[in-house]
Every structure is written in structure tokens, then in C-alpha cells.
């Protein structure tokens, strides 16, 4: 989530940076939400202060044996008002939180401007493209049994067997071996993640419709990035610890077509 203090203090700079990646920050909406939040917080704090003073007076009257019924009624009214203001404040804080969660990351100054992959800039090429007489990937996909998959699970699933299944297993091992040789630490991870984890990686709330939900707080992971990234959630990382290189092979559960 974007830093709230930075947004308040540098909102125009944040707006301009986000514009470079095609996101239009609604500055007026945020300022209205934030102003309303400040007003409600002041109201809540004033009511809390009044309740404290009245409660102290009530205690003194009770101790002296004096009539405290009118003061009790006044305290009840303050409590009622405080409850209403707290409901409004909490609702507003939820709205602010949802607004902040919708804002994407601020791009680095060196990041090229662009709104889609057609505007990507090629930084470097690694290796050489070679031409061999091996089976083309299009021909390989013809060996995928979608009919059997539909029988077992439904549309948009796949079954592979025999040499193709062995090839997949070999590619998984190859990927992990190459990553390890380049300093990545391998993890075996849960295939499910809680709501906080998916909020942490930006999948929620924006892309909830693309996720498979098993319960109110558990989702099938859309990528290994979710559990890997959340290993360090709620932790402070020193710069001298960077870069942290992690890798894992997991299924990717996504409900969107394609």
C-alpha cells in the first residue's frame, strides 16, 4: 500500500508519477476523504474528552451522595453520540483504505513511461536464439488432453501423460536448479494464502474476481510470488540484506480465461 504520509505531503508529485504508468489519481476525492476523516477524528476525541470529564464529576457526586441522575443522562447522551461518530469514522477509514489499496506502485524515475507491454523498452538480451529440429511448442500443445481434463474437472484444464509429463517434470527441476545456481533459495510453499497475504501482493481487493476462494479468508494462490513475498510481510529489511533471492514451483490458480 502507498505511504499515506507521502501521499498527503506530496500528492501532486505522486499524481504525476502515477500518470506515467497510466493511472489517474483522484486527488480531489482523496483530499475530501482525508478532510472528513480529520473532522470525524476531532469529533470523536472531543466526545471522549467530554465523557472522561463527566465521568469524573459523576464519580464525585456518587461519592458525596448527591443526585447524579441528570449527569448520568448527559453521559448516556455523550456515549450515544460517540458510538454514532465511531461508526461513521470506521466506515470512512474503510473507504480510505480501499482507495489506497487501489493505487498501484509508484514507478521509479528510471522506469520508461508506458501503459501496456507495447511500450516496453528492451534493456538487454541474454543468450542466442537457436534453430533446431526439435518438436515445436505448438505441436507439443496438441498432445495436451483437454477432453479428458474436461471429464475430470471441467473446461480450461489440461491432462498430460507419458513423455510430455516427464518433460514437464524435467523443466521444473531445470528451472529450480538454474535458480539455485544463481543464488536463489528454494521454498516449498502452501498452495493457499490468506486475505492479508493477497492484499500484501496487490491481488486484493482489485483482482478478487480472478481468484479461487475456498473460504472467507483463504484463497488458492495465483502465483508463487504471493507466499514468497509474504515471507517478509510485516518485517523491516536492512538494505545490506538485499537482494533477497527466493524461488519456488507452484501451480497457479486463476479463474480468468486464457
Residue 257 confidence (pLDDT):
59
Distance of alpha carbon 123 from alpha carbon 108, whole angstroms? 15
Nearest to 242 by CA among 252, 232, 227, 230: 232
What tens digit of pLDDT does each residue of 169-205 get? 999 999 999 999 999 999 999 999 999 999 999 999 8
What tens digit of pLDDT does each residue of 150-175 get? 999 988 889 999 999 999 999 999 99
Residue 69 confidence (pLDDT):
87
> What CATH class does 130-247 carry?
alpha beta
Instruction: Write down the domain spans for the chain.
Output: 26-101, 130-247
Distance of alpha carbon 23 from alpha carbon 100, whole angstroms? 13
**Residue ranges of the chain with pLDDT lower than 50?**
none
Residue 117 confidence (pLDDT):
85
State which CATH number among 1.10.287.40, 1.20.140.10, 3.90.220.20, 3.40.50.1950 fits the domain covering 26-101.
1.10.287.40
Count Cβ atoms within 10 A of the Cβ of residue 211 and give its class: 0-12 exposed, 13-18 middle, 19 or more buried.
Answer: buried
What global pTM score does this model have? 0.75
Amino acid at each position: 500500500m502507498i505511504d499515506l504520509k507521502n501521499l498527503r505531503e506530496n500528492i501532486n508529485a505522486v499524481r504525476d508519477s502515477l500518470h506515467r504508468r497510466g493511472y489517474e489519481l483522484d486527488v480531489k476525492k482523496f483530499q475530501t476523504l482525508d478532510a472528513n476523516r480529520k473532522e470525524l477524528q476531532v469529533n470523536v476525541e472531543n466526545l471522549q474528552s467530554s465523557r472522561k470529564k463527566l465521568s469524573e464529576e459523576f464519580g464525585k457526586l456518587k461519592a458525596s451522595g448527591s443526585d447524579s441522575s441528570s449527569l448520568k443522562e448527559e453521559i448516556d447522551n455523550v456515549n450515544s453520540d460517540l458510538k454514532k461518530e465511531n461508526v461513521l469514522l470506521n466506515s470512512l477509514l474503510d473507504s480510505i483504505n480501499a482507495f489506497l489499496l487501489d493505487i498501484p506502485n509508484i514507478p521509479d524515475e528510471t522506469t520508461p513511461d508506458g501503459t501496456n507491454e507495447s511500450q516496453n523498452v528492451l534493456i538487454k538480451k541474454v543468450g542466442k536464439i537457436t534453430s533446431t529440429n526439435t518438436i515445436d511448442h505448438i505441436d507439443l500443445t496438441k498432445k495436451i488432453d483437454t477432453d479428458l481434463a474436461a471429464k475430470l474437472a471441467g473446461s480450461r484444464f489440461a491432462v498430460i501423460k507419458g513423455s510430455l509429463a516427464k518433460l514437464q517434470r524435467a523443466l521444473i527441476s531445470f528451472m529450480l536448479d538454474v535458480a539455485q545456481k544463481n543464488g536463489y533459495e528454494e521454498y516449498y510453499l502452501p498452495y493457499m494464502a490468506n486475505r492479508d497475504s493477497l492484499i500484501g501482493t496487490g491481488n486484493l481487493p482489485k483482482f478478487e474476481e480472478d481468484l479461487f476462494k475456498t473460504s472467507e479468508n483463504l484463497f488458492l494462490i495465483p502465483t508463487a510470488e504471493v507466499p514468497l513475498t509474504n515471507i517478509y510481510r510485516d518485517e523491516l529489511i536492512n538494505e545490506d540484506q538485499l537482494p533477497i533471492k527466493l524461488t519456488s514451483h507452484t501451480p497457479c490458480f486463476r479463474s480468468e480465461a486464457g
